[in-house]
Amino acid sequence: MYHKLEEPILLYLLLLIPLLIALFLFQVYWKKKKQKEFGDLELIKQLSPTKSRFKPVLKFVTILLALTGLILALVNPKIGTKMETVKRQGIDIVFALDISKSMLSEDIAPSRLEKSKQLISQIINSLGNDRIGIVGYAGSAYPVLPMTTDYSIAKMYLQNMNTNMLSSQGTALNDAINLATTYFDAVDTSKLIILVSDGEDHGDGANEASEIAKEKGIKIITIGVGTVNGGTIPIKADNGVIAEYKKDNNGEVVITKLNPTILENIAKNTNAVYIENSNTKQVVEQVKNVLDNIEKTEFESQEIAEYQTQYQWFIGIAFFLLFLDIFFLERKTSWLQRLNLFNER
pLDDT at residue number 27: 87
pLDDT at residue number 190: 87
Are the CB atoms for 234 and 242 separated by under 8 Å? yes
DSSP state of 315: H
pLDDT at residue number 167: 73
**CA 127, chain centre distance (Å):** 20
- Pairwise pLDDT comparison (30 vs 89), residue with the higher score: 30
What is the pLDDT averaged over residues 102-131?
A: 92
Maximum average pLDDT range among 12-16, 93-97, 248-252, 304-308? 93-97
Contacts within 8 Å (CB) and 24+ apart, 266-269: 266/173, 266/177, 266/195, 266/206, 266/207, 266/210, 266/220, 266/222, 267/220, 267/221, 267/222, 269/207, 269/210, 269/211, 269/213, 269/214, 269/220
Maximum average pLDDT range among 56-60, 135-139, 199-203, 220-224? 220-224
In the predicted structure, residue 246 carries a pLDDT above the cut 80? yes
- Most distant CA pair in the chain: distance in Å? 90
Condensed to tens digits (0 to 9), the pLDDT of residues 269-302 reads: 999 999 997 788 999 999 999 888 887 776 665 5
Torsion angle, alpha carbons of 248, 251, 257, 262, to 10: -30
Cα distance between residue 344 and residue 337, in whole Å: 7
Domain ranges of the chain: 2-80+308-339, 84-302
In the predicted structure, residue 206 carries a pLDDT above the cut 50? yes
The CA-CA-CA angle for residues 167, 168, 170, to 5°, reads 130
Per mean pLDDT, which range of 108-122, 165-179, 215-229 is the poorest?
165-179
Tell whether pTM > 0.85.
Answer: no
Cα distance between residue 95 and residue 5, in whole Å: 24
Q: How many CA atoms lie within 13 A of 103 on its CB side?
A: 27
pLDDT at residue number 335: 44
In the predicted structure, residue 312 carries a pLDDT above the cut 60? yes
In the predicted structure, residue 189 carries a pLDDT above the cut 90? no
Strand arrangement, sheet containing 191-197:
141-148, 131-137, 92-98, 191-197, 218-224, 274-276
What is the pLDDT averaged over residues 17-39?
A: 82
Question: What separation in angstroms does the CA of 129 have from each of 92, 211, 300?
Answer: 10, 28, 11
DSSP state of 249: T
Which element (helix H / strand E) includes 8? none
Look over the chain and give the mean of its residue pLDDT values, rounded to a whole number: 83
DSSP state of 101: G
Beta pairing partners, 90: 297
pLDDT at residue number 244: 86
What is the pLDDT averaged over residues 95-119?
A: 93
Q: What is the CATH number of domain 84-302?
A: 3.40.50.410
Neighbour-count burial for 44-73, b at 16+ CB within 10 Å, e otherwise:
eeeeeeeebeebbeebbebbbbbbbbbbbb
Cα distance between residue 106 and residue 320, in whole Å: 49
pLDDT at residue number 46: 57
Q: Is 286 exposed, middle or buried (0-12, 13-18, 19+ CB in 10 A)?
A: middle
In the predicted structure, residue 237 carries a pLDDT above the cut 50? yes
In the predicted structure, residue 314 carries a pLDDT above the cut 60? yes
Which element (helix H / strand E) includes 90? strand 82-90
